[in-house]
Amino acid sequence: MEMFFKFLILWLLVSGAIIFLYARREIIANWHEPVLRRPVLIIESDDWGAGPASQAAVLGEIVRLLAGFSDCDGHPPVMTLGVVLATADGAMIRSSGGYQRQLISAQTHGPLLDAIRTGTDKGVFDAQLHGLEHFWPPALMAASESDASVRSWLDRAPDACTEELPSPLQSRWVDASVLPARTLNNADVRQAVKEEVAAFQAIFEHTPDVVVPPTFVWNAVVEQAWAVAGVDVIVTPGRRYETRDESGKPAGSGKTAHNAQAGENGIVYMVRDVYFEPSLGHTVAQAHAALALKVELGQPALFETHRFNFLGTDEKREQSLEQIKILLQGALIAWPSLAFLSTGKLAKILIDRDPEWVEQGLRRRLHVWIRRLRELPRLRKLAWLTGWIVPAGLVWKLTG
């Protein structure tokens, strides 16, 4: 019997060491990621800004909808707006022969900027930088020479939506006019980042705290340039894609990202990996289940909800607004301590490990850490195979 226990302990030590060596990056990163003490829900909505004038009215409707709710501290729900500051100016390109942009301004997009300002003043909007354009202009121009659909899109710009462009071309930080995409020149990237941060500042009168890389394709050079320009936070889908592969899919994602994890030059990542796109059929029940899991994991729920849910037919818009209403109503009932705040504010709280929001006690941190590790399929499999599932489950139960 004694022999058996000695063998068991030895087995757990050896297999534990092997598991740790194999998955140490994720094991350590999950331990370091702050554990939230209360549920957090943020709606992250991209692609607003350049493009059709009809966006202004629906943003006004969203302001009225969100302002009707508040959390237990009296804060309204926040929809962060990933703003695109410019797009191609079709007529100017035709007459000049080269790329020309139309930057959003009080002249071109007065009502839209007013709606964003009103929402920001009421605390329901927070503008984040999505990009000067939702494409890399030289790549778009190159593609227009061989692709008739891009040429016809250019003819309809600046009113055409960038969502209609071939998906690889919607990536701003690679040249996807050929596939696999080509890396951009470093100096061009630095110049473009400088330009887009300055344009954001000119329109919104402050440096963007948060950026959302278009289609989540960007690399270390872009990241460094954003940090240098004063950006604090990058919204990620939990990893960094760096290019588009031969089939046009985002690729090159070696690196995973965790909330409040530091990237290049002290910039910090946030993770947006739950989705609520009513026009794609995502249901409120699924969103509530996603929120429930996030609460267990001590993580915020950053819901991705693009502007395309609110553009197009009246029916689609009404449906999306109604679904957001039901999502919020249900969430406030199911989680009375639910908190609403912006991604930028939340990032600061997590970086500072603010004890009011972030768990300091070892017991609950241990409990949540084990729960997080269970979400990693390979690690879970290894725990079952080696028997580590038993001690880990026991600690999880005892700390719960």
Please spell the DSSP secondary structure of 64-128, one letter per residue. HHHHT---TTSPPP-EEEEEE-EEE-HHHHHHHSS--EEE--HHHHHHHHHHHHHHHHTTSEEEE
Q: Which range in 54-62, 209-217, 277-285, 373-381 contacts Zn ion by CB under 5 A?
A: 209-217
d(CA 173, CA 102): 19
Tell me which residue has tokens 């100096």: 187
Please name which of 336, 243, 328, 228 lies closest in space to residue 287, comparing C-alpha atoms. Answer: 328
By C-beta, is 123 or 237 nearer to Zn ion?
A: 237
CB of 130 to Zn ion, least distance (A): 6
d(CA 79, CA 305): 9
Q: Is 46 in the site for Zn ion (CB under 5 A)?
A: yes
Interface positions, 340-399, toward Zn ion (CB under 5 A): none
- Classify residue 62 as exposed, middle or buried by CB count within 10 Å of its CB (0-12, 13-18, 19+): buried
Residue pair 120/60 in contact (Cβ under 8 Å)? The answer is no
CB of 278 to Zn ion, least distance (A): 17
Residue pair 211/196 in contact (Cβ under 8 Å)? The answer is no
CB of 46 to Zn ion, least distance (A): 4
Q: 250 - beta bridge partners?
A: 244
d(CA 192, CA 198): 10
Q: Tell me: cis bond preceding 168? Omega within 30 of 0 counts.
A: no
By C-beta, is 215 or 342 nearer to Zn ion?
A: 215
CB of 16 to Zn ion, least distance (A): 43
Q: Which range in 143-151, 214-222, 255-263, 313-321 contacts Zn ion by CB under 5 A?
A: 214-222
Q: Is 304 in the site for Zn ion (CB under 5 A)?
A: no
Q: Which of 34, 39, 45, 47 binds Zn ion (CB under 5 A)?
A: 47
Residue pair 239/269 in contact (Cβ under 8 Å)? The answer is no
Tell me which residue has tokens 């004694």: 2
Q: Is 89 in the site for Zn ion (CB under 5 A)?
A: no
Q: Which range in 189-197, 211-219, 278-286, 310-318 contacts Zn ion by CB under 5 A?
A: 211-219
CB of 235 to Zn ion, least distance (A): 11
Q: Which range in 42-50, 239-247, 316-324, 336-344 contacts Zn ion by CB under 5 A?
A: 42-50
By C-beta, is 217 or 301 nearer to Zn ion?
A: 217
Q: Which range in 43-51, 89-97, 186-194, 392-400 contacts Zn ion by CB under 5 A?
A: 43-51
By C-beta, is 137 or 214 nearer to Zn ion?
A: 214
Q: Which range in 66-74, 106-114, 212-220, 291-299 contacts Zn ion by CB under 5 A?
A: 212-220
d(CA 137, CA 200): 18
Residue pair 314/389 in contact (Cβ under 8 Å)? The answer is no
**In the complex, which residue's CB is closest to Zn ion?**
46
CB of 47 to Zn ion, least distance (A): 4
Close Cβ partners of 263 (under 8 Å, ≥ 6 residues apart): 223, 227, 234, 257, 269
* Separation in Å, CA 172 to CA 40, 105, 151, 362: 30, 21, 18, 42
CB of 397 to Zn ion, least distance (A): 43
Count the site residues for Zn ion by CB under 5 A.
3
Q: Helix or strand or coil: residue 69?
A: coil
CB of 106 to Zn ion, least distance (A): 24
**By the criterion CB under 5 A, which residues form the site for Zn ion?**
46-47, 214
